[in-house]
Structure 1
Amino acid sequence: MTSLETETPSPAPRDYPEHWEADVLLRDGRTAHLRPILPSDAEGLVEFYAQVSQQSKYYRFFAPMPTLSDRDVARFTTVDHRQRVAFVITLAQKILAVGRYDLLDAERAEVAFLVQDQHQGRGIGQVLLEHLAQAGRERGVKRFVAEVLPDNRRMIQVFREQGYSVKGGWEEGVMHLEFDIDPTETSIGVIAAREHRSEAASIAAFLNAGSVAVIGASRRRDTIGATLVRNLVLGDYAGRVYVVNPAADSVAGMPSYATVGDIPGDVDVAIVAVPADKVQDVVLDCAAKGVHGLVVISSGFAETGEEGRKRQRKLVGLARSYGLRLIGPNCLGVINTASAVSLNASLAPVMPPRGRAGFFCQSGALGTAILEKVRARGLGLSTFVSAGNRADVSGNDLLQYWEEDEATEVILLYLESIGNPRKFSRIARRVSRSKPIIAVRSGRTTQGVPMGHAVRQIAAPPEAVDAMFKQAGILQVDTLEEMFDVAQLLAHQPLPSGSRVAIVGNSDALGLLAVDAAVANGLTVTSATALGADATAEDFEDALDAAIDDDHVDAVVAVYIPPLDAGGEEVANVLAAVGEQSDKPLVSTFLGREGVPELLRVPDLSGDTAGRGSVPSYQAVEAAVRALARVVEYAAWRDRDDQDGAVLEHVDLEAATRQVNELLMHHPQGKNLSDVELQALLGHYGVDLWERVHVHSVEEALAAARQLGWDVVLKATAERLRQRPDLAHVWRNIDDEDDMRDAWASLMELIADPADAEFVVQRTASPGVPIAIGGLEDPLFGPAVSFGIAGALTDLVGDKAFRIPPISAVDAAETVRSVKAAPLLFGFRGSEQVDVAAVEDLIRRVAQLKIDLPQVSQLDLVLVHATAGGVTVLHATGRVAPVADARSDLFVRRLTAPAGDTLPG
């Protein structure tokens, strides 16, 4: 046992709320562990309290209290996790802070914190308050109160900056603060902003490290450790490089140290290349040294099977418990091309050129091929991270960093799995507003998860995942080639303001291909100029200038195939000059070259890579047009007004929540909702579900018709009948007793087994277009909403649109129009157009219900009639079921625990 290791606390009692435990990221980007306090923490609490200053103790207890009595210790460490809740934040199992609340009455609790002085200013108080508030909400607490001395400015600031509405008063020289703990838009925004800062700081410490230690460095040139050292040195790394090898005095001409602790200077990042079973020892050594994080190149973890998965979980838990973040294991490494850093802490033999794209991938094996492709295209990268098994640091962390990284203008993601899609969607929606994100997602159709990625598969359909990417503004492409095609355009040319394209070229055949490709990709060709095979550079310049100056043109495609006796240098100069000066994007098929050829480059300030205004070239004109079309799509998404000013009226969240909670109280395992329960639930969201009366005989049908006032329908609602377009299972416009008897007799003849036909009687709805709206809750993915024209044919061809709540008015409008059968709603073949606004409103109401009530695990408006006069909901089904965390990741910051059944962030 090293000096940093401590005894593990005694096993938790049976009623211990384990789901409250969390690894958390503090303001400085380092980790800590938060958990409920235990009686076995008594000794640790005393040790913690001894390191708190007298002033901090006075602020906490309003009186001198130099030590804790045995009675105090027992009272503070023994809680019931209901009326008295307390959390500790630990590092290396040493307590750094304590936060607690004690119930005052059914809805109010008094809250207080105490943080060791040396750890104040790291955002610990805010983290404790977030988690205490979430625990309080679970226990029915509505308000927190706190008594604070007026000169305890740090504590007052914690409460006021949390985003809650804090009311204060004075009594006998003490400030009395009180605030509701229900999450508000402001408080959720505050949490998201802190999450962003801490995760960005965590990644910045890796990519801007001032010193790196290679642990496992070897004198043999063919080893991983030797390669890492060589790449750091030959890459002109601006920081200090240290090598750790207990069996050598020197490596690559540098002194070697037996352990990290023997290194005389500070170490920011450790690159680990030792056997898998030795990595945990390295973690302890690095923790003792004060290293920020580890890049674990070593393999032998989750990618090898169950034993490796256990080793990986233990590794991540150990690293986080000592405050370290971890990239990998089984990764290629990290690269930062900035001249002030020049960090190649990877196995890649060649540094990519400096550029404006940040690249995140998971596969170490694929990473080398990606970097070679980047270099061949002359694209250039700002930073590169290969996360391997992605046990801790993930793409979400990199998005947080790149959002404000001035060197990164385009973000490239190669994703083999998505550990936390809800968080990914939330961050990507924000980042895409300022920086384009291009993503390739392997396993897109099968949603398979590679070995080494300890995540659950997403149960939501692939279309829902695609919808998440689309709503977040992510340019999802099918191949790496297409990713680079789009990236080289975004990295070097301006965004188009529309979809109108001009084509200029000296090949009639390629010009026609360009026109066809543009139309096929949804672009509008406003002009196509054929210059002829003998066109000169001056001809190109005149035609390009005319196209750029044309107010009806948003982008230009240039095609140049040189004559046999020409090299194209003069035309290249023209293209480069126009590309540099134009405020409209220019793409080319220049000599069939791929990437950003030297002739078409505008040097950046450093002179060693392609700068803004460089003209990208494509081997095939179809690839050029396809890339342009994707960029047009992104520009349109970014320009749309997605600020949703329309507030949904007639929504009673309190009543809906009360109904769902009461249902789960009586049915803790969940239940399918009856028609009456669905009527009430939908009614709380302003949706009128028409009454249906279930009947089993003609006499019951007659009674139901009288109850509803006649003009009713009799229909069989069993699934096997509803999905049969060849069966007439509905009898309409029943106005009297004779009609009903005729209807019953006729349906009895059509249906072979009437006993389980599930007959209902319902008022007759106006003729309209049948639509269906559904809502599902995936434990990993979160809520999703579907829309389509109701019927078996829709299900057969999969003509459904999916959207991920929250759904704005713009999202709802796009949803309705995105299905192939949408013309049926807009007056197809002379029919009356339906009230599309009412359809869109209904979609948003279902989406809002799914946001508010994750306990509604399934909700399907199976049959809705859309007419010119509005929408009529005729049939719905639903289910309520308990949920583990009710999407609490919105309300508290937490790194996902390293257990095998949890998900990396």
Structure 2
Amino acid sequence: MADVVPPDGHPDPAGAPGSAAAPYPAGWEADVVLTDGTTTRLRPIHPDDAEALQAFHVAQSERSTYLRFFASLDRLPERDLERLVTVDHVDRVALVAVTGSPEAGTPERIIGVARYDVVEPETAEVAFNIADAHQGKGLASVLLEHLAAAARERGVRHFLAEVLPQNGRMIAVFKEAGYEVHQRTEDGVVQVTFDIDPTERSLAVAADREHRAEARSMRALLTARSVVVVGPGPEPGRALTAGQAERVVAGLAGQARAGRVTVHVVGVGAPEGLDGAGVDADGMHHHARIDDVPGPVELAVVALPPERVLDAARRLGALGVRGLVLLSGGFAEAGPEGLARQRLLVGVAHGAGMRVVGPASFGLIATHDGTLLDVSLAARPPRPGRVGLFCQSAPLAVTLLGAVERRGLGLAQLVSAGHRADVSGNDLMQFWGEDDGTDVVALYLESIGNPRKFSRIARRLAAHKPVVVLTAGRSGHVAPPGHAVRPTRAPRRTLEEVLRQSGVIRVDNVHQMLDVVQLLAHQPLPRGRRTAVLATSTGVAALVAEAAAAAGLVVTDRVELLAEDASPDEVHDAVERVYGDPDVDVVIVLRIPTLGVPDAVLPGEVARAAARTGKATVACIHGLHGVTPDLTATAEGGRAWTVPAYAAPEDAALALGRAACYAAWRAADRGHPVRPAGVDTRAAARLVARLLAASGATDGSPLALDPAQTAELLAAAGVHVWPSVRVRDADEAVAAAEALGWPVALKTTVPALRHRADLGGVRLDVADAAELRADVAGILALADAHDPGPGVPPLEVQAMAPHGVACVVRSAEDPLFGPVISLGVAGDAADLLGDVAYRVPPLTDVDVAELVRTPRAAPRLFGYRGLPALDVAALEDLVARVSVLADALPDVRSLELNPVVVSPHGLAVLGAYVTVAPADRADAARRLARP
């Protein structure tokens, strides 16, 4: 952790006797979303909290105090108070949940406390105390998550707690957290013990709680029925912010007039005669100041100069506002000062329980239970529908809304996150996973701040709703100004793999995104890829067949040609032949008449047949575009289905192909998380912590492990590295070969020649001492111009492994993506051509199998050109072990197994190289309210 003092500027408190105090752990500070959708801040306690802790204690009920201290205490004695706020952040740790923000002039109030005291090695006693007014919001469970994460960082592996029998709620917190809890009663006190290492169940519980909390926080924004709009007032030079506020107020007028939304307005010109205060003809309430607005108000829309936003946020928090939509810019995109202002704003908002949409947001539009909420800059809202749309860029929102209107699409929600200081696409996906009014989700992402969390949430959502994603860049390596995103060193294909693993439908531009969305929103999912073509031109039919094949569809023999001047009966018969074919899953309909004469028969026939059979259909019919009544029909169950119309046949084929690929992903077995036997991540973590502590490195630079340390670390994952001996000359080489057993392999340790048999850096099947001495001389002469490194012997001797195919398995910890696993068949050609497959853990058995089969050279593992098939199962097991180790230990900065020789019966790991360094993973095993 960084050497940081607490925000109040006081040095770290002295530690408990016998323990050295650690620097203030700023990395433990976090903003979290509670189960009621509000936010709060967690941070380590410090001595200046004494007064706030006493106030917290005094406000508690007698029952709560008794359950915590087993006694009635009106006030904490000064000696106990000092002890409670004095910790060493190692053996004595305490976290507090607070509201308010001293930076914005609102004092902090403690609403929850969690602490542990180490009582024996790897075991600590824990205690929790939650404010009466905040119980039932999941605060104890989220404090437990963060306290357990801090404890694991300090080497603690077990918690114990002494609880009165009547404190069933606290006992339930431990049990419901997903840990295996043991309890016994002695002398009228229940002693609870449990292991705090994350388990599959504890991680699932935390993810489910995070899902429900973030979904509820978004629902509070999207279903708000009271809004306050704050503008700049008559300030000169504020035309943009004034115009933004006026546009929102104008959009709210109709909603206020209908009485469905209560609207308060501050700093936007009031009608004549109101004198800045009063109710106008539309029913909107005008006020001179924010403080004059009667609370509570659910949602605030702010268009102010950046220097005035912080004060407005503080005042809005006092009104009970749950969400703040910030239209104005001037924050992170304005440089370091703006970034500091943005972080301060988010801290103030979270301290008051608010979420922030923006800065530089276009606003949000949502329809719920037939009631429109439009707090956006749109000239007019889109028609209602069942598509959820998220974008970051405000200018792109204009483009999207225009395209949506031209296509006749309907939206359930549109949310523009702007520079994504707080609310992100992850939050909206959590909401859409719970929303019955949304069938299809589309996201335009300029950056992804937490790809691992995105992947986890998107995969969960895509399992039952289509998720269409457009990214501003294909690599994820570039973020626009104003987007605070960690740097990445991952290969440029990593983002593509993250999205593919998530089951999302990736598109290349806005045009494609809406092409796919209109199909998924208005047609059932394709049952398969077998495609029929109904066309009025043989040339166009041939072209669309080619486009369909390129999109991953399988074009059948069912290509039905229809004359431009076909009679209604001929049209009906042709349509029936296409849709009546049991070997057809999807249909592409094309009518592009040379004379441009509309067809009054074909659209209706196609719409009715598609609705009746449930076969997904796309159309390219002259004069029709988007979602039209001409191509709409009602199915037997009463649902109206519309065949979407496209401008070009290639667009129709591409949309249908993407939908079919998604349907196949959703229907496929996605496997189970890999859990190879014999992987002891706890032992591996202890070893890495010990090695880092012994190294004394404080600058975060990677520490390269020696062969013995590497073998010990990999052994904890159940990976055996074939032993080798490093030698300096021929005599030492012969002695090593005698000890290992003939035949042997001789290798140089020079990095430039390592693994290069083609350059003479590796000699295989060395059978006797004479041959070995000659090879030693040859390799030393070859490597004479190279330096293997300080203190590294130039040669390495190893027993010969069975012959097979050499592979390379790697893992690298990336600041943005976390662990990235790669696999390739060893050799220069694979490196030069980039024939390497990537995946981001956690992996399932299906992910592992796909990874092994993805490289273009993978057929060499499966009996290529008559050679025997190799032990692919052993390779999959190795990849699974590496993925589990990398997922559990972010401090393993890099790991390379090279070569891994896969033979017909087993494999041999002949080389292993590991570096370790302290890491701060974006998606930690604790809930955080950050994009």
Question: TM-score of the superposition, structure 1-length normalised?
Answer: 0.93
Distance 1:488 1:392 in 2: 29
| 2:52 is the counterpart of 1:36 | no
Report whether the alignment pairs 1:64 with 2:76.
no
Cα distance in 1 between the residues matched to 2:794 and 2:558: 62
Aligned residue type for 1:367? A
Name which of structure 1's ranges 333-342 and 137-146 shifts more when overlaid on structure 2: 137-146
Change (3 A) 1:539 1:459: farther
- Please tell me whether the aligned partners of residues 776 and 783 of structure 1 are also in contact (alpha carbons under 8 angstroms): yes
Task: Report the CA distance between 1:536 and its aligned residue.
Answer: 4.1
Q: Deviations over 1:370-415 (max 9, x none)?
A: 1111111122211011011111111111111111111111111111
Following superposition, the deviation at residue 748 of structure 1 comes to 5.7
Give the AA of the match of 2:924: D
**How much does 1:574 deviate?**
0.9
Partner Cα distance (2:183, 2:763) in 1: 66
Aligned residue for 1:613, secondary structure, equals strand
Q: Does residue 598 of structure 2 align to residue 567 of structure 1? A: yes
Counterparts of 2:220 and 2:403, CA distance in 1: 27
Q: Partners in 2 of 1:305 and 1:336 — Cα distance?
A: 33
How far residue 115 of structure 1 moved from its aligned partner, in angstroms, is 2.2
Code of the aligned partner of 2:906: G
Q: Are the counterparts in 1 of residues 246 and 268 from structure 2 also a CA contact under 8 Å?
A: no
Correspondence for 1:663 among 691, 701, 706: 691
2:585 partner letter: D
Counterpart of 2:759 in 1: which secondary structure?
A: coil
State how far apart, in whole Å, the 2-side matches of 1:724 and 1:103 are. Answer: 52
**Please, which of 437, 450, 473 is the counterpart of residue 503 of structure 2?**
473
Equivalent in 222, 240, 262 of residue 240 of structure 1: 262
Q: Give the one of 812, 815, 827 matched to 1:779.
A: 815
Question: Deviation at 1:341?
Answer: 2.5
Q: Select the residue among 709, 726, 730 that pairs with 1:694.
A: 726
Q: CA deviation at 1:547?
A: 3.5
Residue of structure 2 aligned with 1:142, choices 157, 166, 170: 157
| Letter matched to residue 185 of structure 2 | W
2:57 is matched with: 49
Within 5 Å, which residues of 2 pair with 1:323-362? 323-338=353-368, 340-362=370-392
C-alpha offsets along residues 333-358 of structure 1, whole Å, 9 cap, x if unaligned? 00103353201100011211212211
The reply to whether residue 893 of structure 1 matches residue 893 of structure 2 is no
Matched, 1:641 2:672: no
Matched, 1:277 2:285: no
- Structure 1, 832-841 or 719-728: larger mean CA deviation: 719-728
Which of 64, 86, 93 pairs up with 1:85?
93
Shift of 1:759: 3.1
Greater Cα offset, 234-243 or 777-786: 234-243
Paired residues for 1:671-750 under 5 Å: 671-722=703-754, 727-747=759-779
1:855 equivalent in alignment to 2:891: yes
Q: How does 1:391-470 map to 2 (within 5 A)?
A: 391-445=421-475, 447-470=477-500
Counterparts of residues 373-388 of structure 1 (less than 5 Å): 373-388=403-418
Cα deviation for residue 746 of structure 1 reads 4.7
**What are the residue-to-residue correspondences of 1:580-599 with 2, within 5 Å?**
580-591=611-622, 593-599=624-630
2:645 maps to 617
Contact 1:668 1:882 survives alignment (8 Å):
no
Q: CA deviation at 1:124?
A: 1.6
Q: 1:40 to 1:244 in 2, by over 3 A?
A: same
What is aligned with 1:650?
678
Unaligned runs of 5+ in 2: 1-5, 14-22, 101-107
Asked whether the equivalents of residues 780 and 794 of structure 2 are also in contact (C-alpha less than 8 Å), the reply is no
Matched letter for residue 876 of structure 2: E
Alpha-carbon RMSD = 2.6
Aligned pair in 2 of structure 1 residues 138, 647: CA closer, same or farther (>3 Å)? closer
- TM-fit CA distance, 1:745: 4.6
Report deviation, 1:298. 1.3
Matched, 1:759 2:795: yes
Question: Which stretch shows the higher mean deviation, 626-635 or 730-739?
Answer: 730-739
Q: What's the counterpart of residue 180 of structure 1?
A: 195
- Please name the residue that 2:105 is paired with: none
Contact 2:355 2:423 in 1 (8 A): yes
Distance 1:513 1:12, change over 3 A: farther
Structure 1 residue 11 and structure 2 residue 10: aligned?
A: yes
Distance in 2 between residues matched to 1:108 and 1:769, nearest whole Å: 47
Deviations 1:837-871 (A, max 9, x none): 22222221211121122221101112122232232
Determine helix, strand or coil for the equivalent of 2:752: helix
Q: 2:142 aligns with which of 127, 131, 134?
A: 127
**Structure 2 partner of 1:231:** 251
Which residue of structure 2 lines up, in the alignment, with residue 836 of structure 1? 872
Answer whether contact 1:536 1:571 (CA < 8 A) is retained: no
C-alpha separation in 2, matches of 1:861 and 1:90? 47
CA contact (8 A) 1:537 1:574 kept: no
Check conservation: 1:237, 1:342, Cα contact below 8 A.
no
Taking the aligned partners of 2:60 and 2:9, their CA distance within structure 1 comes to: 25
The 3-state SS of whatever aligns with 1:104 is strand
Are the counterparts in 2 of residues 827 and 833 from structure 1 also a CA contact under 8 Å?
yes
Q: Could you list the per-position Cα deviations for residues 560-581 of structure 1 after superposition, in whole angstroms to 9, with x for gaps in the alignment?
A: 2236374112101012112222
Determine if the alignment matches structure 1 residue 576 to structure 2 residue 585: no
Cα distance change, pair 830–159 in 1 and its aligned pair in 2 (3 A): closer
Q: CA deviation at 1:43?
A: 1.6
Task: Give 1:877's aligned residue.
Answer: 913
Cα offset for 1:647?
A: 4.4
Q: CA deviation at 1:87?
A: 2.0
- Letter of the aligned partner of 1:178 in structure 2? T
Q: Aligned to 2:493, what secondary structure does the other structure show?
A: helix
Counterparts in 2 of 1:72 and 1:645: CA distance versus 1, 3 Å: closer
Number of equivalent positions: 885
The letter for the 2-side match of 1:729 is G
| Cα displacement string for residues 524-550 of structure 1 (whole angstroms, at most 9, x for unaligned residues) | 212232324344444444344333343
Note the alpha carbon deviations across 1:442-481, whole angstroms, 9 max, x for none.
1224711111111222221121221111111111111111
Greater CA drift, 760-769 or 501-510? 760-769
Structure 1: which amino acid aligns with 2:927?
R
What's the counterpart of residue 4 of structure 1? Answer: none
Identity %: 44
**Which residue of 577, 581, 595 maps to 1:546?**
577
Change (3 A) 1:806 1:878: same
| Equivalent pair of 2:675/2:884 in contact (CA under 8 Å) | no
Aligned 8 A contact 2:446 2:473 in 1: yes
Q: Is the 8 A contact 1:748 1:754 kept in 2?
A: no
Runs of at least 5 residues in structure 1 that lack an aligned partner in the other structure: 1-6, 896-903
Distance change >3 Å, CA 746–CA 52, structure 1 → 2: closer
For residues 259 and 870 of structure 2, what CA distance do their matches in structure 1 show?
65
Query: In the TM superposition, what whole-angstrom CA distance separates every residue of 1:421-454 from its partner, at most 9, and x where no partner exists?
Result: 1211121121111111111111224711111111
The one-letter code of the counterpart of 2:287 is: Y
More displaced stretch, 826-835 vs 537-546:
537-546
Q: Deviations over 1:587-607 (max 9, x none)?
A: 1212274422331134899x9
Q: Distance in 2 between matches of 1:141 and 1:749?
A: 52
Instruction: Map Cα deviations across residues 706-760 of structure 1 (whole Å, 9 max, x no partner).
Output: 2221212223353323586862433332211222234345556666637759432
Retained in 2: the 8 A contact 1:399–1:427? yes
Equivalent position SS for 2:329:
coil
Aligned to 1:293: 323
Q: Residue 9 of structure 1: CA displacement?
A: 4.7
- Kept in 2, the 8 Å contact 1:493–1:612? The answer is no
Structure 2-normalised TM-score? Answer: 0.90
